[in-house]
């Protein structure tokens, strides 16, 4: 009896193994080359789930090893995904044939995560158009000028925080991600909600927007990866991505603020006010749940991305004193022109700052990868003769980091050189090889807000302080595996002192 049972179990296991192994033949059957190392059941994800690497890094390695192809097959566990290598194909997916690839391949369960589910990033069709329209409205030049007033108030808080730390010592050692997370979370609190984020006040840590942000985003754990990559597990375990107390925090905050505003009717310089203005002037009905959701999107999409990008810029400036000096000169010249005040026009005139931001984002990509989903079948044709009949539901991976570090498009790609983006040279950059904010109809809708807050914060620092790299920063930088965004191991440490 026992022998029969064991044979049966072994038989089932062997059959299951062959079934899974068969799944890894999807690309082979279609004549598309596949990245080495796919295993039955886990595909190319073994090292990702073992937290030895991150998905963007895994795709970067595959990009590096397969650059001679226009596209390459990949297995996200048992699902076949396609990594696009040729910039022309990236253009097809993101822009020319957007209708066939119109969704981001990340799903959110609206029952489990009702607030996050309205985020434009996770939506498609009419819901996406409506949500995107609202963000586009808030980030027009005219309204960014309004939001800049709140950003400027945060720059003052940032300066006071640093001055206070420097009041007794000549220089201080700081971790840049910590500093800029405080800054961008405080910006979201001020420019998003019109409240104090308590991010520079360690005694009010429990109320801090930064701590709340970390509670949602910094789950650097195996659980987070699995839940993010396999959302179906969230349904099985009935766990939402947003912790309950965070959901409550934002609902209560927005409800209280709206009640107060209805009573006093005072116009504010923040996103919430702009949304209510949109509702009034355009008759676009936005209920409290939707309003809370948009405000949370402002937080989720803007806080961590911008603070990471700023910390990488700070790291590059500390590592390249000449670039820092040149940028400081530009900041001083422009600020002098505007009587020392940070203005919208002044920030626009800081064009070397744009070069530095671009080059920093090229060298260290904040996200490293974009994932799209085929929504209508399409024939992708590479210049190497490969033809892929992409089926609806297939994941398309765009290896941003690979494209931004490819020596075919960038001379000495590892070298940090803002001159690549100078007015004379930027036109020769191959299209669709530089994608810090994505491209096409789904390009980051918060890009202008991101640039505004990053430029204002950096200008506030450079006008008063100098940055010098601390030996505590572990070089060369290595990413912490298992994080959604690029996060250097050990942090980015600098010495900061008054000029």
Stretch that binds ligand HEM, among 227-235, 302-310, 336-344, 473-481 (CB under 6 A): 302-310
Judged by CB, which is closer to ligand HEM: 240, or 308?
A: 308
Q: CA-CA distance, 158 to 271, in Å (whole number)?
A: 21
Per the structure block, which two tokens stand in for 142? Answer: 């005219």
Binding of residue 485 to ligand HEM (CB under 6 A):
no
- Please check whether residue 452 is in contact with residue 151, taking contact to mean a CB–CB distance below 8 angstroms: yes
- Please check whether residue 279 is in contact with residue 287, taking contact to mean a CB–CB distance below 8 angstroms: no
Residues 354-393 that bind ligand HEM (CB under 6 A): 366-367, 370
Binding of residue 302 to ligand HEM (CB under 6 A):
yes
**Closest among 332, 275, 382, 387 to 27, alpha carbons compared:** 387
Candidates 444, 458, 494, 496: give the one binding ligand HEM (CB under 6 A).
444
Binding of residue 89 to ligand HEM (CB under 6 A):
no
Candidates 301, 330, 359, 406: give the one binding ligand HEM (CB under 6 A).
301
Q: How many residues bind ligand HEM (CB under 6 A)?
A: 27
**Closest among 157, 159, 172, 166 to 208, alpha carbons compared:** 157
Q: CA-CA distance, 493 to 474, in Å (whole number)?
A: 9
Candidates 100, 102, 234, 306: give the one binding ligand HEM (CB under 6 A).
306
Binding of residue 436 to ligand HEM (CB under 6 A):
yes
Per the structure block, which two tokens stand in for 152? Answer: 């400027």
* CA angle, residues 486, 490, 496, in degrees to nearest 5: 100
Neighbour count for residue 229 (Cβ, 10 Å): 17
- Please check whether residue 197 is in contact with residue 283, taking contact to mean a CB–CB distance below 8 angstroms: no
Task: Write down the least CB distance from residue 498 to ligand HEM, Å.
Answer: 27
Neighbour count for residue 258 (Cβ, 10 Å): 16
Q: CA-CA distance, 442 to 440, in Å (whole number)?
A: 5
Q: What is the dihedral sign for C-alpha 114, 392, 53, 446?
A: negative
Binding of residue 87 to ligand HEM (CB under 6 A):
no
Stretch that binds ligand HEM, among 168-176, 301-309, 339-347, 464-472 (CB under 6 A): 301-309
Task: Write down the least CB distance from residue 297 to ligand HEM, Å.
Answer: 5
Q: CA-CA distance, 435 to 312, in Å (whole number)?
A: 16
* Closest residue to ligand HEM in the complex (CB): 446
Binding of residue 437 to ligand HEM (CB under 6 A):
yes
Binding of residue 180 to ligand HEM (CB under 6 A):
no
Binding of residue 442 to ligand HEM (CB under 6 A):
yes
Residues 102-121 that bind ligand HEM (CB under 6 A): 104, 120-121
Binding site for ligand HEM (CB under 6 A): 94, 104, 120-121, 132, 135, 297-298, 301-302, 305-306, 309, 366-367, 370, 436-439, 442-446, 449-450
């Amino acid at each position: 009896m026992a022998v029969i049972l064991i044979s049966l179990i072994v038989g089932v296991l062997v059959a299951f193994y062959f079934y899974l192994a068969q799944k890894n033949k999807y690309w082979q059957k279609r004549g598309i080359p596949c990245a080495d190392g796919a295993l039955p059941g886990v595909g190319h994800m073994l090292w990702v789930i073992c937290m030895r690497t991150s998905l963007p890094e895994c795709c970067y390695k595959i990009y590096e090893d397969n650059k001679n192809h226009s596209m390459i097959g990949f297995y996200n566990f048992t699902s076949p995904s396609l990594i696009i290598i040729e910039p022309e194909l990236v253009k097809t997916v993101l822009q020319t044939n957007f209708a066939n690839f119109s969704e981001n391949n990340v799903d959110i369960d609206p029952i489990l995560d009702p607030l996050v589910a309205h985020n434009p990033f996770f939506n498609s069709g009419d819901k996406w158009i409506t949500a995107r329209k609202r963000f586009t409205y808030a980030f027009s030049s005219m309204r960014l000028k309004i939001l800049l007033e709140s950003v400027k108030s945060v720059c003052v808080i940032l300066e006071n925080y640093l001055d206070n730390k420097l009041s007794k010592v000549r220089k201080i050692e700081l971790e840049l991600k910590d500093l800029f997370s405080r800054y961008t979370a405080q910006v979201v609190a001020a420019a998003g909600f019109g409240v104090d984020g308590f991010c520079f006040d360690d005694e009010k840590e429990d109320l801090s927007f930064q701590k709340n942000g970390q509670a949602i985003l910094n789950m650097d754990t195996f659980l987070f990866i699995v839940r993010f990559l396999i959302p179906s597990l969230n349904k099985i375990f009935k766990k939402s991505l947003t912790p309950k107390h965070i959901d409550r925090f934002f609902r209560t905050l927005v409800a209280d603020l709206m009640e107060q505003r209805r009573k006093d009717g005072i116009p504010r310089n923040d996103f919430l006010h702009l949304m209510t203005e949109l509702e009034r002037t355009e008759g676009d009905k936005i209920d409290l749940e939707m309003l809370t959701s948009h405000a949370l999107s402002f937080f989720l999409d803007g806080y961590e991305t911008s603070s990471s990008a700023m910390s990488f810029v700070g790291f590059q400036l500390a590592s390249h004193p000449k670039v820092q000096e040149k940028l400081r000169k530009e900041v001083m010249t422009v600020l002098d022109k505007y009587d020392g005040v940070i203005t919208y026009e002044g920030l626009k005139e800081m064009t070397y700052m744009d070069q530095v931001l671009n080059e920093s984002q090229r060298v260290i990509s904040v996200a490293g990868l974009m994932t799209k989903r085929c929504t209508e079948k399409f024939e992708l044709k590479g210049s190497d003769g490969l033809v892929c009949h992409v089926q609806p539901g297939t994941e398309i991976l765009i290896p941003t980091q690979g494209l931004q570090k490819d020596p075919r498009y960038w001379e000495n790609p590892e070298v940090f050189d803002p001159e690549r983006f100078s007015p004379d040279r930027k036109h020769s950059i191959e299209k669709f090889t530089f994608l810090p904010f994505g491209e096409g109809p789904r390009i980051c809708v918060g890009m202008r807000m991101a640039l505004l807050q990053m430029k204002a914060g950096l200008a506030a620092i450079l006008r008063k302080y100098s940055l010098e790299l601390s030996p505590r920063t572990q070089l060369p930088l290595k990413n912490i595996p298992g994080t959604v965004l690029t996060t250097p191991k050990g942090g980015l440490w600098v010495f900061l002192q008054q000029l």
